[in-house]
Amino acid sequence: MGKRVTNRKGRTQGIRFSAGKAVLITVAILVVISVIGVAVRFWSKGPAGPAKQVVSQPIINDKQEIIEKYNKGEFNEVVPSLEKYLARNPDDQQVRELLASGYLLSGNTTQSLKEYQAILKTKPDDAETLYKIGVILQHMDRTNEAITYLNKAVQASPDIILFHSELARANARAKFYKEAVEEWKIVLNLLPPADMARASTLAEIAESYVQQGEFALAKEAIANGLKIDPSNESLKELEKKLGGEIQGQPTPGPEATSGEN
């Protein structure tokens, strides 16, 4: 699935990204991305494979025809036309965005990263582009670099749940568990009080506490999460991992799980 675009300057929709097992991220992507007009479609196991070899594909010169072909999801086939068009019109940022996402969706993350970095040069503080680069770098196992870009993304747009979630995940992957917890707490503060996604966020917090050996704090986070969503599989797995039913324990203080500063 790709992003659908029109031939109006500066107007593009995003491609969707999905990574990790937390329900929160799936929901956030579907909602937040539709608002900010940016997304990158990934599967938790990465793209399906390397780009297919395209043989004797005709080069399209008309921009509208290129966009229409892109909208049909023919990413491998349309990339050569995007490349040729952009070579003649290097300042067309809409086409460069399409090429970057076309590379990504056809499995060429290296070229996609290169194009997004070129876009970033024209708008260095753009949170959406910083986020996309961070996501791609994570997929390429360049986690520390990804954290740098994702940190910049959350600084540029501090109220976007998706950005904080991805930064938290990157920190956890780099074993910066304290930093991961802090980002997940920010997510808790941004989520509505009755949002069921809070349970999945608390599961992420509990997992980071487990990795740090903070088992008491982990149990507190699990207990609060199960009060929100008793059927949450991640929380139940963590509860079992820590050994024993804890749903009857007292609610912990805000320092451990509320996310308040």
153 and 31 in a common domain: yes
- 101 plus 31 within the same structural domain: yes
Count of CB atoms situated within 10 Å of the CB of 81: 24
> Is residue 38 in a domain?
yes
Domain extent, residue 33, equals 1-46+56-167
- Of 210, 234, 225, the residue nearest 257 (C-alpha): 225
Give, to the nearest 10 degrees, the angle between helix 143-156 and helix 127-139.
Answer: 160
Amino acid at 183: E
Q: How far is CA 117 from CA 16, 41, 129, 131, in A?
A: 19, 18, 8, 11
pTM of the model: 0.71
Are both 40 and 79 inside the same structural domain? yes
Q: What is the CATH number of the domain that holds 9?
A: 1.25.40.10
* Over residues 206-219, mean pLDDT: 96
Mean pLDDT over 165-181 rounds to: 97
Mean pLDDT of 233-259: 65
118 and 26 in a single domain? The answer is yes
Domain count within the chain: 2
150 in any annotated domain: yes
Same domain, 163 and 101: yes
Residue 252 has pLDDT above 70, yes or no: no
Rg of the chain taking only CA atoms, in angstroms: 20
> Is there a single domain that holds both residue 24 and residue 119?
yes
Asked if residue 5 and residue 128 are part of one domain, the reply reads yes
Residue 12's pLDDT band (cuts 50, 70, 90): very low
